[in-house]
Structure 1
Amino acid sequence: MFDGLKDKLSSFREDVEESTDAEEPAESEAGTEADAAAEPESATADEATGSVDSTPATDSTDDEETADADDSAEPSTFQRAKAFATGRIIIEEEDLEEPLWDLEMALLESDVEMSVAERILETVRETMLGESRKQVETTGELVERALHDALLDVIAVGQFDFEERVAEAEKPLTIVFTGVNGVGKTTTIAKLSEWLEDRGYSSVLANGDTYRAGANEQIAEHADRLDRELISHDQGGDPAAVIYDGVEYARANDVDVVLGDTAGRLHTSDDLMAQLEKIDRVVDPDMTLFVDEAVAGQDAVNRAKEFNEAAEIDGAVLTKADADSSGGAAISVAYVTGKPILFLGTGQGYDDLARFDPEALVDSLLGEE
């Protein structure tokens, strides 16, 4: 999963290592020159005559302090030489310029949204610029920490404990699913029903997709396989009424969660968006989850943003994550919407629904798992 992006992040780490490590011999030579320059010019003559210089040994220290003060904004050659002599290397803008450009291109090619890519670059630059590292610590380790913090910063936006929210909510908890057609929304509902069942929560399915021919049959097949109750009306019925009936059924039968499907729509479909508004008024769902395909990349990011602006969502589910090599949607959706990714669809089976763990994803992208 996201193998293409993993390779590109690894290339960035290698580029920075090459950029900084290539300068180490020059630093060593500069350090030797700096040491030589610090020795009194009369040392040879003094040794020959056996005389001893009685001048107080404060000039060298004063010179160092002056150099440090004059060049505090940017490391001088003397500071870099001194750092290397003490086993440290200072990373400068020129070390990062080309690798950061390559990283930006790699992120954009992986369908990472522009503002998200810029945020990642800014964080990496701020973390590394002027940073010094011990020679016993590789530059790669320093880059990895910077990337880890930058990626987590954008991926973990808005995260909350979904299972904890289910546990603490007044029952029945009502969750409505929305998104465009053909992204696996109905199958995701079935998967979440199974996920809840595995954790001891009962659920009822309510088919608010009364717009599409065959929608009842599709969700009914899932309900039969999972042995779940399905609430549905005839095609063309009122979606809000269907989900409301699902809530009433859950209350009467002590069912924990109502999972409401809705018609696939674009944010520009005024009549369908009006249906969502009516569902909000009539049912007042506890959560509205946006569903899209991870493989849709930038399109999924744009749609998530548009849906959140048109009818506020509480979180997102990305399907087909196992087939996505770019990772752009997984990295971008939360930052762009301010709402978390909660689940990833990772296969065709009902058990192929994984809780989204930002820390685990970042570790995976950086090869730390």
Structure 2
Amino acid sequence: MFAKLKEKLGSFKKKIGETIDQKAETKSSAEGVPQETSEKGGREPAKEKKKKKTGIVTKAKTLILEREIVLDENDLEEPLWDLEMALLESDVALPVAESIIDAIKEELVGVHRKIKADTTDIVETALRNALLSVMTKEMFDFDEFIAGAPKPVNIAFVGVNGTGKTTTIAKVAARLRGNGHSVVIASGDTFRAGATEQIEKHAERLGVKLIKHQYGGDPAAVVYDAVQHATAQHRDVVLADTAGRLHTNVNLMDQLRKMCRVAPPDLVIFVDEAVAGNDAVERAREFNEVVPIGGNILTKVDMDSKGGAAISIAHVTGKPVLFLGIGQSYEDLKKFDAEWYVDQLF
């Protein structure tokens, strides 16, 4: 995962490290070593001279080691420009890339560093902190949310076609059942041929009740019936599938608004694939303007060589990434952990 971005971050670390080392070397060379002189002005005994020389050199080295350097913006200008370009090439959204650059500047510029400090640690810490600062927007724990919310919890899944939304619903259902919650799935995608059959197979495998209507029916009615069934049967969670749609499809977006009015969701989750990069981030932003989303799930993360979508999507939408799809099985749904994600980049 994220091989390309990992390589580019490594290149940035190396460049900044070389800049720090070069500046430290220049300053150390400028210090020089004090010349030894005899207090009496005459020649000292060889033994005393050697002893004194050793002491002077040791003291000089100690002074150099303890001295500090201060990085300024000129030192970082070229490496930061290269990093910003690398982030953009890795599908990090422009405002997010700029925020990362600003955070790195704030941490490195004007800060005193020991000449012999480990430059790798200095730069990596700054990078990590900058990445985490844009990835931890409005974080909340999905499992705690489900446990504490009034039942049934109605969750709607939205997104475009072909991003793994239906499979993700099945994975979430499996996770909820594994945590001891009862689940009802609403087959709200009455638009796409074969959609109900697809979600029905998952429901059968998982032993989950599926509420469905005929093809071409009103998805709002499907979700409403699912919530009513869950209430009557004391089920914990309703997971509502919806038709994949672009935000430009006026009819389908109106249909989504109606569904949210008829059966108001407690949480709207936007699902897209990590490999879509900036397109996924832009789609999340557009959906959020129509039906406010509460969280994001990115699929196909195991196939993503760039890694930019997960870095950007929380910052752009102001809503957290809840899970990452990292494989095909029901268990391949990883709870999002920003620290873990950043670890994969180093």
One fold, TM greater than 0.5? yes
How far apart, in 2, do the equivalents of 1:327 and 1:220 lie? 32
**One-letter code aligned to 1:158:** E
Paired residue secondary structure (2:32): helix
Residue 314 (1) aligns with residue 285 (2) = no
Answer whether contact 2:66 2:115 (CA < 8 A) is retained.
no
Q: Does structure 1 retain, via aligned residues, the 8 Å contact 2:65–2:116?
A: no
Decide which of 227, 242, 246 is 1:262's aligned counterpart. 242
Whether the 8 Å CA contact 2:65–2:115 is kept in 1: the answer is: no
CA contact (8 A) 1:83 1:90 kept: no
Q: Percent identity?
A: 55
CA displacement at 1:145 relative to structure 2: 1.2
1:184 is the counterpart of 2:164: yes
Q: Conserved in 2, the CA contact under 8 Å of 1:194 and 1:350?
A: yes
Does the Cα contact within 8 Å between 1:83 and 1:89 map onto a contact in 2? no
Does 2:327 correspond to 1:347?
yes
Q: CA–CA distance in 2 between the matches of 1:138 and 1:48?
A: 43
SS in 1 for 2:157: strand
**Structure 2 stretches lacking a partner, 5+ long:** 43-61
Distance in 2, Cα, partners of 1:120 & 1:221? 43
Q: Which residue of 1 aligns with 2:127?
A: 147
Gap regions ≥5 residues in structure 1: 37-42, 50-81
Please give the TM-score of this superposition, normalised by the length of structure 2. 0.90
8 Å CA contact 1:133, 1:139 repeated in 2: no
From 286, 296, 314, the counterpart of 2:276: 296
- When residues 231 and 47 of structure 1 are mapped into structure 2, their CA distance, relative to the original with a 3 A threshold, is same
What residue number does 1:246 align with?
A: 226
Partner of 2:285: 305
Q: Does 1:157 align with 2:131?
A: no
Instruction: Find the aligned partners of 2:111 and 2:344 in 1 and give their Cα distance.
Output: 25
Partner in structure 2 of residue 204 of structure 1:
184
Does residue 357 (structure 1) correspond to residue 337 (structure 2)? The answer is yes
Give how far 1:29 is off.
2.5
Map residues 67-106 of structure 1 onto 2, 5 A cutoff. 84=64, 86-106=66-86
User: 2:318 maps to what in 1?
Assistant: 338
Instruction: Report the secondary structure of 1:201's partner residue.
Output: coil
User: Aligned partners of 2:15 and 2:328: how far apart in 1?
Assistant: 38
Which runs of 4 or more aligned residues in structure 1 lie more than 4 Å from their structure 2 counterparts after TM superposition? Answer: 46-49, 82-85
CA distance in 2 between counterparts of 1:220 and 1:198 reads 19
Q: Which amino acid aligns with 1:267?
A: H
Partner amino acid for 1:150? Answer: A
* Contact 1:342 1:355 survives alignment (8 Å): yes
How far apart in 2 are the matches of 1:163 and 1:84? 54
Aligned to 2:261: 281
* 1:126 paired residue among 102, 106, 121: 106
Instruction: Quote the residue 2:24 is aligned against.
Output: 24
For 1:83 and 1:104, locate their aligned partners in 2 and report how far apart those are by CA, in whole Å. 37
Instruction: State the Cα distance separating 1:90 from its structure 2 match.
Output: 2.1
Distance 2:294 2:158 in 1: 11
Alpha-carbon deviations, 1:106-131, whole Å to 9, x = none?
Answer: 10110000000000000001110022
- Distance in 2 (alpha carbons) for counterparts of 1:146 and 1:197: 40
Change (3 A) 1:7 1:17: same
The verdict on how the C-alpha distance between 1:83 and 1:364 changes in structure 2, with shifts beyond 3 A counting, is farther
Q: Separation in 2 of the partners of 1:280 and 1:28?
A: 66
Kindly provide the CA deviation profile for residues 140-187 of structure 1, in whole angstroms up to 9, marking residues without a partner as x. 111111111110010111110111110000010000000001101000
